Amino acid sequence: MSNNLNHTTISNRRNLNLSQIIDEAIHSNVIKALEEDLGGSIQIENDLSASLISNNNVCEATIIFKEDGILCGTSWATEVFNILSEKITINWNYQDGDHIKAGEKICSITGPSKEILIGERSALNFLQTLSGCSTKVNEYCSILKNSKIRILDTRKTIPGLRTALKYAVKCGGGLNHRHGLYDAFLIKENHIASCGSITEAVNKAKSIAPNKLIEVEVENINELQEALKNNVDVIMLDNFSIEMIHQATEINKQKVPLEVSGDINLNNLTQYLDTNVDYISIGALTKNIKALDLSLRIK
């Protein structure tokens, strides 16, 4: 890779430090989920079904994986119960990123029954959604495990859950693209058209924020050659055929990291193994999520 940019350097420059914003995201996500479930304010008495249970009733519960997958979302689930009651204790048997077999108990929960049952659905929603995302990402990464290619996410995320889903991508073995519109340049077709050319767009980007990563999306070989002349950080080959990708990598000669995107899925991923690109970005990782099947059971 050119400009001394390796996977780690590019990952760091693509987005803000995820660890710096994740705690805030966890709390915000959980507050909104509980408010949604409890009619706008987090009041125990708002749960009609829980009102059937005595205030001094306590229980022990477990959360169980009902299918194989990658665990993700433990901090979100913990926050759900922490907000509802300081008397709830959670002991996790596994941590995020672990491979879990169907039937495994991932944690035990003890405390007041009312609050545990109130938090059940919100906690499971976070766990099943984020674990589903991590599991899908891991499927892609497993196919590419013997290559240099790394899987990237996109901004195609569920509204309000971007940080959570990008965290899930990392737990599954993938890398994060930029977090949003504010932390890196991605100069696409419409930006190029509005600026007049790739060269004009890149020059403006460098003058506006010279320390930000600049990635340019190209749709043909001529645009690739123009992008290469402008010393950008990453070039995205958008909807290139396999033949065009091979041509692009020959022209590039590893001067600039190359990313490919467009209609790539588990069925055709192996076609890219010998293309010598650096990244494959896939929107489906965070927008077409199949939730894992989990359940909470009271003993």
Eight-state DSSP code of residue 116: H
Give buried/exposed letters for 219-230 (b at 16+ CB in 10 A, else e). beeebbebbbeb
Q: State how far the Cα of 33 lies from the Cα of 260, in Å rounded to an integer.
A: 35
- Catalogue the E-assigned strands of the chain: 58-65, 69-70, 89-92, 99-100, 105-112, 150-152, 185-187, 214-218, 234-238, 258-261, 279-281, 294-298
CA-only gyration radius of the chain, Å: 22
CB atoms within 10 A of CB 152: 25
Pairing of strands 58-65, 279-281: unpaired
Inter-CA distances, 255 with 7, 129, 162, 176, 235, Å? 14, 38, 31, 22, 10
Of the candidates 32, 66, 87, 156, the residue annotated as catalytic is 156
In this structure, are residues 110 and 59 in contact, taking their beta carbons and an 8 Å threshold? yes
Question: pTM of the predicted model, to two decimals?
Answer: 0.94
Inter-CA distances, 247 with 2, 226, 275, Å? 18, 15, 9
pLDDT the model gives residue 19: 74
- Active-site residue flag, 156: yes
Residue located via tokens 């990563």? 213
Mapped onto helix, strand or coil, the DSSP state of residue 59 is: strand
Q: State how far the Cα of 260 lies from the Cα of 209, in Å rounded to an integer.
A: 25
- The domains of the chain, with CATH numbers, are 2-17+143-287 (3.20.20.70), 19-139+290-298 (3.90.1170.20)
Q: Which amino acid is at 214?
A: I
Q: State how far the Cα of 84 lies from the Cα of 106, in Å rounded to an integer.
A: 20
**299 residues of the chain, pLDDT tens digit each:** 444 567 777 766 665 667 778 999 999 999 999 999 999 999 999 999 999 999 999 999 999 999 999 999 999 999 999 999 999 999 999 999 999 999 999 999 999 999 999 999 999 999 999 999 999 999 999 999 999 999 999 999 999 999 999 999 999 999 999 999 999 999 999 999 999 999 999 999 999 999 999 999 999 999 999 999 999 999 999 999 999 999 999 999 999 999 999 999 999 999 999 999 999 999 999 999 999 999 999 98
Instruction: Tell me the β-bridge partners of 202.
Output: none
